[in-house]
Amino acid sequence: MTAQAPYGARASSPAGAGIRGRGRPRSILALGLAALALVSIAIIAAAGGWWTPWTSRCIQGVDVSWHQGAIDWRTLAADDVAFAYIKATEGADHVDPRFAFNWAQAGATPIYRGAYHFFTLCQPGARQASNFIAVVPRVDGALPPAVDLEHMGPCREGPTMTNVIAEARIFMDRVEAHYGVRPIIYTTREFHDSHLRELSGERFWIRSIAAPPGFRQNDWVIWQHHNRGHRRGVVGPVDLNAFRGDAAVLAAFASSVRSPS
């Protein structure tokens, strides 16, 4: 039994009790700082596209143009990139200066490659289709062609087209006749709501940053979920995309282009 302390005297504390008492707040502070550091790292990783948990169950891809400069395609293929859309043409006469290089280099890797055309509201769909067809070869295993419908205008020369759906369909019909597969449509919410609400029966590639597409929920096959991502093999930011389906569905998606007879 411990002897009672004399009246008026302070009872002694067990050895180390004060040290333990002071250590508890420090431990809580350390845990809080560690948690804050982890949250900060996660935010930075998500903002830079290194970590995209919202697409963790999807097959990953990119889309590129001359803006990305020289790409190391073998390194890119090793960084969990299964497919890539490569800009080929724009309007009725522009050709992306890096398309030929990107197309050839991507073809030497396991990446499924596809070509896209940036559609303007300033030239007829037929002329734009001719530009694309003249540049992009027909090859086995390519992804379906894509038409990028996001240009809101105005046109610097000449009038802006009044019937976007009609001209886009002319483009897609001619491209489909040449490659044997219907193109898919890349678009934004702004362009879609302004021009494409009445369009039906098409497959879509939807831009919706960091959140699942809020429109065309039943029609999209590719989701552009990040516009400033990072992947090894690409210097600087690159668009990141998620494919709706597993590896077998992607392989079937990429096997529908008709090669030259």
17-21, 131-135, 160-164, 176-180, range with the lowest pLDDT: 17-21
39-43, 47-51, 145-149, 252-256, range with the lowest pLDDT: 39-43
CB 204 within 8 A of CB 188: no
The HSE-up count of residue 220 (CA atoms within 13 Å, CB side) is: 23
Query: What pLDDT is attached to residue 156?
Result: 85
Q: pLDDT, tens digit, for every residue of 209-225?
A: 988 999 999 999 999 99
Structure-token pair, residue 36? 């804050």
Q: Which of 139, 95, 101 is nearest to 116 (CA)?
A: 95
Q: Which of 153, 162, 132, 150 is nearest to 188 (CA)?
A: 150
Q: pLDDT, tens digit, for every residue of 192-213?
A: 999 999 999 999 999 999 889 9
pLDDT surpassing 90 at residue 8:
no
Secondary structure element (H or E) that encloses residue 26, with its range: helix 17-47
What residues are paired with 206 via a beta bridge? Answer: 187, 223
What is the 8-class DSSP label of residue 10? P
DSSP 168-203: HHHHHHHHHHHHSSPPEEEE-HHHIIIIITT--S--
Going by pLDDT thresholds of 50, 70 and 90, the confidence category of residue 33 is low
What is the 8-class DSSP label of residue 143? P
Going by pLDDT thresholds of 50, 70 and 90, the confidence category of residue 10 is very low
Q: Which of 95, 169, 165 is nearest to 115 (CA)?
A: 95
DSSP 97-137: TTHHHHHHHHHTSS-EEEEEEE--TTS-HHHHHHHHHHHSP
Q: Does residue 255 or residue 250 have the better pLDDT?
A: 250
DSSP 200-251: -S--EEEE-TTS--SS-TTTEEEEEEEEEE--TTSSS-EEEEEESS-HHHHH
The HSE-up count of residue 130 (CA atoms within 13 Å, CB side) is: 7
